[in-house]
């Protein structure tokens, strides 16, 4: 009898300790300040958001992400400034920096596209380096820092020595090259399917080429600064889900193509043309050094107002929440994709420390 009582007491103590440990662990978990995040959804979507939702990663951290379709970068950033959405991610780097220079209080917290933009020209044009652009007509904004920066570095005045042609859409830029109105067009990943099926047009160089600007941080994740300050746990948890989604994507790219194609109601061939292209690199990580470089090039080429000189752009770059999320994921889920998570940590250190 005494032995039975002892065993029962020991079992009760073990259960109590387990419950206590569970409660302590639960108490240590981050609690989101707000559980709903509104995301500006571009036409090509965001594969990490789609995967995090469908794989249950958002649910695991207690978040609901609602994607609101936007037709353009201008519409997305206007909606962000007005508080109609909480995150934009497919609107480049120059566009949000221009908004910050104009007085919008945005903070860049992470990324979506690391690289993926490219130049096209008629077949047999080739590429010898950025000086090929001198004296040519380029269908791109004159604020395209991946092109103007390398020319500045070589001692050129890219604004005066290149004729920059402005068009409303990527399709219009491509059409200008086909028609002979432009020598080159600067295009995004969602045009890769179209370009890949043209007989008379070729990709001459990707913007991340060593001759231009490697790892330039193509599209940044932007939030209003007050949202970041008021919801640090929410932002950290959001990144935890997105980091895990990136790891899954890198291990299941063909599956991700099917999932994203269905999500954005597009043919799989269209999505595969960019998601399976080795030069198109989605990465949720932050690249503070590249953002600062882009800001400085925009200053040097006159695309920011004089008042921008009074702005410390580092005040609008947050690296700590992404890093906290990455540390948490590595601590809890490292065994899932150890090589990928190690590479993400090394990437963070290379571009932010």
Q: Which domains does the chain have, with CATH numbers?
A: 36-114+218-352 (3.40.190.10), 118-206 (3.40.190.10)
CA 335 to each of CA 57, 59, 244, 329, 345: distance values in angstroms, whole numbers, following the listed order: 16, 21, 12, 10, 15
What does the pLDDT read at residue 238? 98
Q: Are 276 and 261 in contact (CB under 8 A)?
A: no
263: left (phi over 0), alpha (psi -120 to 50) or beta: alpha
DSSP 278-292: TT-EE-----HHHHH
What does the pLDDT read at residue 168? 87
Q: What is the largest CA-CA distance in the chain?
A: 98
Report phi then psi at 340, rounded to 5: -70, -45
Could you give the CA distance from residue 327 to residue 348 in angstroms, rounded to a whole number? Answer: 11
Q: Which residues contact residue 37 at a Cβ distance below 8 angstroms, ignoring those fewer than 6 apart? A: 63, 64, 65, 66, 86, 87, 234, 238
Q: Which two tokens stand for residue 31?
A: 């609690």
Q: Which residues contact residue 259 at a Cβ distance below 8 angstroms, ignoring those fewer than 6 apart? A: 47, 50, 51, 54
Q: Are 139 and 184 in contact (CB under 8 A)?
A: yes
Record the pTM: 0.89
Q: Taking the CB of residue 240, how many other CB atoms lie within 10 A of it?
A: 26
Please, what sign has the CA dihedral across residues 17, 19, 20, 26? positive
What does the pLDDT read at residue 28? 64
Q: Are 161 and 151 in contact (CB under 8 A)?
A: yes
Q: Are 189 and 277 in contact (CB under 8 A)?
A: yes
pLDDT (tens, 9 = 90+) of the chain, 353 residues, equals: 444 444 444 444 444 444 444 433 444 689 999 999 999 999 889 999 999 999 999 999 999 999 999 998 999 999 999 999 999 999 999 999 999 999 999 999 999 999 999 999 999 999 999 999 999 999 999 999 999 999 999 999 999 999 999 998 999 999 999 999 999 999 999 999 999 999 999 999 999 999 999 989 999 999 999 999 999 999 999 999 999 999 999 999 999 999 999 999 999 999 999 999 999 999 999 999 999 999 999 999 999 999 999 999 999 999 999 999 999 999 999 999 999 999 999 999 999 99
Side-chain-side CA neighbours of 99 within 13 Å: the count stands at 26
Q: Are 205 and 211 in contact (CB under 8 A)?
A: yes
CA 329 to each of CA 26, 160, 199, 246, 265: distance values in angstroms, whole numbers, following the listed order: 16, 48, 46, 12, 31
β-strands 201-206, 118-122: how paired?
A: antiparallel
Instruction: Decide: residue 20, CB within 10 A, 0-12 exposed, 13-18 middle, 19+ buried.
Output: exposed
Q: Are 261 and 343 in contact (CB under 8 A)?
A: no
β-strands 201-206, 64-69: how paired?
A: unpaired
């Amino acid at each position: 009898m005494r032995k039975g009582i002892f065993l029962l007491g020991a079992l009760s103590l073990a259960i109590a300790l387990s419950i206590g440990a569970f409660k302590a662990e639960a108490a240590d978990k981050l609690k989101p300040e707000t559980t709903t995040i509104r995301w500006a959804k571009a036409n090509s979507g965001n594969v990490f958001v789609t995967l995090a939702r469908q794989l249950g990663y958002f649910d695991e951290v207690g978040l609901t992400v609602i994607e609101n379709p936007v037709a353009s970068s201008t519409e997305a950033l206007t909606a962000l400034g007005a508080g109609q959405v909480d995150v934009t991610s497919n609107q480049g780097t120059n566009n949000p920096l221009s908004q910050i220079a104009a007085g919008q209080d945005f903070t860049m917290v992470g990324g979506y596209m690391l690289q993926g933009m490219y130049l096209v020209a008629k077949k047999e044009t080739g590429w010898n380096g950025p000086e090929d652009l001198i004296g040519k007509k380029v269908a791109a904004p004159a604020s395209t820092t991946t092109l103007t920066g390398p020319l500045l570095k070589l001692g050129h005045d890219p604004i005066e020595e290149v004729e920059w042609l402005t068009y409303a859409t990527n399709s219009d830029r491509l059409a200008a090259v086909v028609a002979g109105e432009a020598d080159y067009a600067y295009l995004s990943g969602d045009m890769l399917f179209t370009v890949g099926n043209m007989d008379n047009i070729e990709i001459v160089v990707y913007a991340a080429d060593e001759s231009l600007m490697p790892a330039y941080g193509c599209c940044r994740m932007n939030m209003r600064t007050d949202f970041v300050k008021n919801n640090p746990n929410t932002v950290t948890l959001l990144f935890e889900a997105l980091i895990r989604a990136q790891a899954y994507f890198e291990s299941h790219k063909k599956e991700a193509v099917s999932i994203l194609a269905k999500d954005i109601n597009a043919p799989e061939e269209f999505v595969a043309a960019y998601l399976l292209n080795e030069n198109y690199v989605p990465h949720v990580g932050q690249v503070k050094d590249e953002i600062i470089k882009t800001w400085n090039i925009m200053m040097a080429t006159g695309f920011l107002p004089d008042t921008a000189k009074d702005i410390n752009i580092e005040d609008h770059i947050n690296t700590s929440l992404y890093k906290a999320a990455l540390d948490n994921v590595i601590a809890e889920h490292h065994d899932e994709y150890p090589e990928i998570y190690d590479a993400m940590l090394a990437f963070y250190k290379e571009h932010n420390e």
